[in-house]
Amino acid sequence: MNRIRIFNANIITMNEGCEVTEDAVLTTDGERISYVGSRQDEPQGIKYDREIDAKGNIIMPGFKNAHTHSGMTFLRSYADDLPLDRWLNESIFPREAKLRDGDIYWCTKLAIMEYLTSGITACFDMYLKPYEIAKAAEECGFRCVQVGSMNNFSQSLELQEEWYNEINGKNPLSSYMFGYHAEYTCSKELLEGLSELAHKYNAPVWGHNSETESEVKGCMDRHGMTPVEFADSLGLYDNGGGGYHCVYVSEKDIEIFRSRGLYAVTNPGSNVKLASGIAPVSKFLKAGVGVAIGTDGPASNNCLDMFREMFLTAGLAKLKERDASALDANEVLCMAAAGGARAMGLNDCDCLDAGKYADLIMIDLTRPEMQPICNLSKNIVYSGSKADVKMTMVAGKILYEDGRFNIGEDPEIIIHEVNKVNKEIGEPSKA
């Protein structure tokens, strides 16, 4: 069993917001944390396999990417500068139809490399081929919660139930939740079937929700309700879950989120790039709705960078409300780590405490953008970058450290295989 001791650290446990414990120690015993706290109270007489001097750097819970499509790395920069409907129908869906067995495995591994460099220790992945995604994540030692992306053309109810039973409980790094792509790609009958499935297992349901004005208008035209109201009317939210994007939501929608205990996952980078709009994050928080942050996929963002998402989450909330105090950096930092964990059902990964999984990161305070140290959490959100990530650990195993990967695969092989997928499925136009 691998035991690691990290000492001389500034630790943000997120047990009580973003408070910092100075000159602190964190130890691991295999996959889990065995101690976190002051050096004076540290248990003695334990032999460690490795001791790491943090040299005053920050140790905190890893970020949780609460909405992404990892396997879309092969489409990065493929169809940029298009509105969402054209981006999906003209460029993305036709290319995804050409994917072969094994392609998503390599594309997911490339995304995991990028997650690790950004201090992301888990992702909420909505994509195709769940077994390939689970295999890629498990081989890398990365934590991945998958969610169904069922629509009228793929991922049947029968397949979702199979994946739910086959993936859950087999490996602590992998889990699966029920989900649907969006109201506008699913028939009412299909969503009613998903509701029955969710009730059978008392399980939460997730889906893209209210991302664009046209999506909401289309749902109103079809059903006389917003996407949130429609999903709730079918019982999809009876066991919790939530929505991705949640840009164009009404006061009634927000109340449904609050009363059902749903989470709203904001994806500011993608929403800005696709000109979808700005989610009302401040309103969600004021209403008592849990909020998490996601990058969305590498084909729409195009960067899987939680630092950029945190800055945009804070900045756009202030811009939307025309109030520089609308959203505090401490709230954003908690959303990116603890909030994402709770949305994803990773309650053993939400903070640093004895018995929790050792999913954590080290942030380098010697970087010029992190100095001077007036407020650590605000430095991370407003001036931090992925270049500040010195180490990323998942389940007690260091997967990324000082620019080097420890994921059981040569990074050059992963990059080669993804470029091969890109070329064989179709390169982008040069226009």
Give residue 426's pLDDT: 62
What are the angstrom distances between the C-alpha of 424 and each of 111, 362, 419?
Answer: 19, 38, 9
- What is the fold, at CATH topology level, of the domain defined by 63-343? TIM Barrel (3.20.20)
| Residue 116 pLDDT greater than 90, yes or no | yes
Cβ-based neighbour number of residue 41 at 10 Å:
9
Domain range list for the chain: 3-61+349-405, 63-343
Model confidence over 91-107: pLDDT tens digits?
788 888 888 879 999 99
Say if residue 130 is preceded by a cis peptide, omega within 30 of 0: no
Say how far apart CA 293 and CA 308 lie, in whole Å: 11
Model confidence over 38-88: pLDDT tens digits?
999 999 999 999 999 999 999 999 999 999 999 989 888 877 887 778 877
Helix (H), strand (E) at residue 143: strand 143-147
Say how far apart CA 338 and CA 263 lie, in whole Å: 12
| CATH architecture assigned to 3-61+349-405 | Roll (2.30)
Q: Which two tokens stand for residue 246?
A: 């949640």
Model confidence over 240-265: pLDDT tens digits?
999 999 999 999 999 999 999 999 99
